[in-house]
A and B are shown apart, each in its own frame.
Chain A
Amino acid sequence: MKMNSILSNGKAVGQNETKLRTEAVSLYYGSFQALRNISLEIPERAITAIIGPSGCGKSSFIRLFNRMNDLITGAKVEGQVELDGIPIYETTIDVVELRKRVGMVFQKPNPFPMSVFENVAFGPKRHGRNKIGELEEIIERSLHQAALWDEVKDKLGQSALSLSGGQQQRLCIARVLAVEPEVILMDEPCSALDPVATLKIEDLMRNLAQEYTIIIVTHNMQQAARVSDMSAFFMMEEDRAGVLVEYGPTSELFTNPKDKRTEDYITGRFG
């Protein structure tokens, strides 16, 4: 099952259809501008890494795609964000439906304080899929997909908080998979995990990328290089607004950066 990450990085994702697109997007929190004029196209069934120094708006950027920024008072979006060509900031868009299609995994594993089973069942149940039998099927499938089934199949009734950090994060991934999204946003999903758990999640991501569009925010250059097909490098400008410096296939961005700032960052000169 394990894929050679060098090879997968080399796959021609440029031929994949565009799943998500931003055009001239700016994001404001009140009077503070967090993102400025960002345009990029994210290919489907591939992993796109968002890299850059702390505070450059990486998390804010991926939260555009499931409208998680809506929760913050004073947040305002300018420009166009599209999922499959449909603008998602139109007033006619059902945000709940959007979040079903665009799932999200957070920095700190956030399993709910309930059983493993109930954690994965949470999403499907909220969408009215609570027939006995059907639910069990969804949960087994999701846990298999998240490479967690073998570890938890005998303790589905136990509290999710009793799992290890890495297992908790894979449970959170299973929870997202259970509602059958098309896109999975991952906001530094490994930053709270040890190296072994991190590698497991990375393997998992490579497998999931065959079916899902994945965007991952990461601080970790090696991680971006290991797992992603495309990379976007963000930086802060002087007013602390995040801008997109360079975007392209990961293999190119890491071996042959076009922008001096990208080169400085990936060679560890700052950040």
Chain B
Amino acid sequence: MKAGAISKRQLSQRTAFSLLIIATIIVIVPVLVIFLQIIINGANAISWEFLSQAPSQAGKAGGILPAIVGTFYLMLGTIVFALPLGVMAGIYLTEYAKENWFTRSINLAIINLAGVPSIVYGLFGLGVFVLLFHFGMSLLSASLTLACQALAMTVTTSREAILAVPREYREGSLAVGATRWQTIRHLVLPQALPGIITGAVLAMSRAAGETAPILVVGAAFLLPGLPQSPFDQFMALPYHLYTVAAHVPGMPKSTVWGVALVLLVVVLSFNVIATIIRLRARQRRLNA
């Protein structure tokens, strides 16, 4: 009787364990399959020519250099606008803003900013940057549009990184007569920097993968050369992938996979960089 009760408990324990592990495997398998498929099918397309030349014959021949460069410009443009603004807003919200309806509504807005569908940002960018500000269909308009979208992330990660700096440090600094800004500038920000940079790098990698918003503010189907100024149109990897996959008949399959592989490598490498920065910072904190 007693033994039976125990084995019943063990049975339910084992069932739960098996279910959990199966669920985990189900989660991992599609990711692995997608990666493997892209790597196996795309590897053939990758060559020096593919990475270093402009496309020809509607992308069927030649390379994808303008799309790679365009994507890097976009990431750079996004972060140039989104990082300073995000950090400054993060500082204001954590260090200066008083807890009232105004800051509460700002916080709510930031949370909701992250939930706005990306095409809506695209339309906003079209209305404001392309038409109202006359930036035209351009790298600048697209960077600003993606920066608006990235703000939710840079503000949130900056704020969290700043909040994670112990209150004791701030008190110690104020107690020797440092001003609030000196405390932020010389104590809080240096401590929060790894977290802020991690968020920035992740925001860049997300910007690299966005397709919908840039569609309406300046991404070009095909361009023979690289953008020469922020007011030029540009190519970008995700949009290029969309066009070669869906809009060009007779497109070699390996080219499509090749573009996907390059995009994946760009996005993942930035995620890896973010992880390394985070781990390094944690290590340093533990060693200190």
Residues of A in contact with B (beta carbons under 8 Å apart): 66, 68, 71, 73, 96-101, 103-106, 108, 110-113, 122-123, 125-127, 159, 161-162, 172, 175-176, 178-179
Tell me whether B178 and A66 are in contact (CB under 8 A): no
State A222–B256 Cα separation when bound (angstroms): 79
State A185–B99 Cα separation when bound (angstroms): 29
Tell me whether A175 and B171 are in contact (CB under 8 A): no
Residues of chain B in range 164-199 having any CB-CB distance to chain A below 8 Å: 166, 168-169, 171-179, 182, 186-187, 191
State A127–B159 Cα separation when bound (angstroms): 28
Tell me whether B178 and A126 are in contact (CB under 8 A): yes
Tell me whether B175 and A68 are in contact (CB under 8 A): yes
- Assess whether B98 is interfacial by the CB under 8 Å rule: yes
Tell me whether B176 and A106 are in contact (CB under 8 A): no
> What are 17 residue pairs bridging A and B, where the CB atoms are less than 8 Å apart in the complex?
A71-B171, A97-B177, A98-B177, A99-B174, A100-B177, A106-B175, A112-B172, A122-B173, A123-B176, A123-B178, A126-B173, A162-B288, A172-B172, A175-B176, A176-B175, A178-B176, A179-B177
Cβ-closest 10 pairs across A and B: A100-B177, A123-B176, A110-B168, A104-B175, A126-B178, A99-B177, A110-B172, A161-B288, A126-B182, A179-B176
Residues of B in contact with A (beta carbons under 8 Å apart): 98-99, 166, 168-169, 171-179, 182, 186-187, 191, 285, 288
Tell me whether B177 and A106 are in contact (CB under 8 A): no
State A110–B168 Cα separation when bound (angstroms): 6
Q: Other than A104-B175, A110-B168, A179-B177, give 17 A-B pairs with Cβ distance below 8 A.
A: A68-B174, A71-B171, A71-B174, A73-B99, A96-B177, A96-B179, A99-B176, A106-B175, A108-B168, A110-B169, A112-B173, A122-B176, A123-B177, A126-B176, A126-B179, A126-B182, A162-B288
- Across-interface contacts of A113 in B (CB, < 8 A): 169, 191, 285, 288
A190 to chain B, nearest CB (A): 16
B285 to chain A, nearest CB (A): 8
- Across-interface contacts of B171 in A (CB, < 8 A): 68, 71, 104, 106, 110
In the complex, the chain A residue whose C-beta lies closest to that of B285 is A113
Tell me whether B177 and A126 are in contact (CB under 8 A): yes
In the complex, the chain A residue whose C-beta lies closest to that of B168 is A110
**Known contacts A73-B98, A161-B288: does B172 contact A96 (CB below 8 Å)?**
no
State A126–B179 Cα separation when bound (angstroms): 8
**Known contacts A110-B171, A113-B191: does B288 contact A122 (CB below 8 Å)?**
no
In the complex, the chain A residue whose C-beta lies closest to that of B179 is A96
- Across-interface contacts of A108 in B (CB, < 8 A): 168
Tell me whether A96 and B168 are in contact (CB under 8 A): no
Tell me whether A126 and B186 are in contact (CB under 8 A): yes
State A182–B8 Cα separation when bound (angstroms): 72
State A219–B168 Cα separation when bound (angstroms): 20
A176 interface neighbour in B166, B176, B187, Cβ under 8 Å: B176
In the complex, the chain A residue whose C-beta lies closest to that of B174 is A99
State A129–B177 Cα separation when bound (angstroms): 13
State A175–B168 Cα separation when bound (angstroms): 14
State A64–B263 Cα separation when bound (angstroms): 58
- Across-interface contacts of A106 in B (CB, < 8 A): 168, 171-172, 175
- Across-interface contacts of A105 in B (CB, < 8 A): 175
State A162–B287 Cα separation when bound (angstroms): 9
- Across-interface contacts of B182 in A (CB, < 8 A): 126
State A219–B104 Cα separation when bound (angstroms): 39
B277 to chain A, nearest CB (A): 17
B28 to chain A, nearest CB (A): 38
